[in-house]
A = this chain, B = another copy of it.
Amino acid sequence: MASINTTPLSKTGLPPGSLAYIGPEREGGTIIASIAYAPESVAFFDGLPPEDAPGITWIDVQGLQEVEEIAGIGEKFDIHELVLEDAMNTLQRPKFESYDDYHVLCLKMIYLSEGKRVVEHITIVWDNKKAITFQETKGDIFDNIRKALSGGKGKLRTRGVDYLVYRLLDTVVDHYLEVLADYEKGQLYIEEEILENRGRKIMERLARLRKEMAWFRKQVFPLREAVMSIAKTDHNIIDSKNVKYYRDLVDHINSAIENIDLHKESLAGMQDHYMSKVSFKTNEIVKVLTIISTIFIPLTFIVGVYGMNFRYMPELEMHNGYAIVWGLMIVITLLLLWFFKRKKWL
């Protein structure tokens, strides 16, 4: 089972305003791809779109390591340095901020890629003419949106930037739910292992999963607040006819959070359950030890008695002494078995 790397990187003590990429090292540079679309047309560009591109523009920046490139985009579109800093800091927590001319949303994409869980930092900057997405790596989960744009079906081409942003967010949150369903499967598998007394390092895996869930919650919880403040109609950030989509999004995020909380509770329950099984087994093992010891230790004592070499031991001389001792030992054994039965140890 693949697992999310939850180790944070240390943020060096740079002065605010000095741009730097903070995140794991990645191969390849920064790629820019743009789409300009209007209800009746769509155009794809490598790099920035031409200045005179009509309609709405989506500029997609993939790879955050080339500081100058990012700084150039920031300058061109007049984006505040604090925004660029947050975009390039993969440790940045999800948040929404509204500047004078544009809005900014930082969040995490968490999705399955070839069975592995992948985490990617993404920042969306938008005004009512364009959306700029800064993604941590090449390759993403938005191909269905690009397809919808090029196909031209559905509402995507006919609505504003706020609807595009909604679609991006909806895709991200859908992948959260998918990853959670994958976790669920993993949990059910461990649950089965516990029930069937197989599986190794159960405790390690449960501890790992709990840690990942705590980390997941930390990524999703602030997103709710962020999207809710977008959806508040009095800000006029989104078109009133799109409000219901954003409310729906909040509802999905709530669903993700509730699932995470259920998972956490359920993992805690599994740990308790597993530990109780260990206690149980110890109990059972000790019971076996006690039964065997309690039966044989007195018997061994008895046979020891008649192994003594005293000159004068009357029993030894008796003709049926040996038989009597056996009888005695059988009686003792039966009494002890009865005792264990009564104690419900057998």
Contact = CB atoms under 8 A, between A and B. Distances in A.
Given A16-B245, A278-B279, A279-B282, A292 B292 contact: no
Given A167-B16, A271-B272, A294 B292 contact: yes
A233 interface: no
A-B pairs with lowest CB-CB distance, top 5: A303-B304, A10-B181, A306-B308, A289-B290, A307-B307
Contacts of A144: 13, 15
Question: Which of A82, A300, A308: most chain B CB closer than 10 A?
Answer: A308
Contacts of A207: 269-270, 272-273
This chain's copy number in the assembly: 5
A49 B184 CA distance: 43
A154 B17 contact: yes
Contact of A214 (B251, B265, B274, B312): B265
A77 interface: no
Question: Which of A148, A270, A322: most chain B CB closer than 10 A?
Answer: A322
B308 A259 contact: no
Interface string A171-197: 100110110011010001000000101
Contacts of A299: 301, 304
24 contacts: A8-B184, A11-B177, A11-B178, A13-B171, A13-B174, A16-B248, A91-B255, A93-B254, A99-B244, A207-B273, A210-B269, A218-B258, A275-B276, A278-B283, A283-B285, A285-B345, A286-B290, A289-B289, A293-B293, A300-B304, A303-B304, A306-B308, A307-B308, A310-B321
A300 B307 CA distance: 11
A278 B278 contact: no
Contacts of A97: 244, 247
Contacts of A275: 276, 279
Given A91-B255, A304-B300, A309-B306, A204 B273 contact: yes
A63 to B, nearest CB: 24
Contact of A297 (B203, B293, B319): B293
Contacts of A315: 310
A215 interface: yes
B307 A303 contact: yes
Interface in A206-251: 207, 210-211, 214-215, 218, 222, 244-245, 247-248, 251
Contacts of A307: 303-304, 307-309
A301 to B, nearest CB: 5
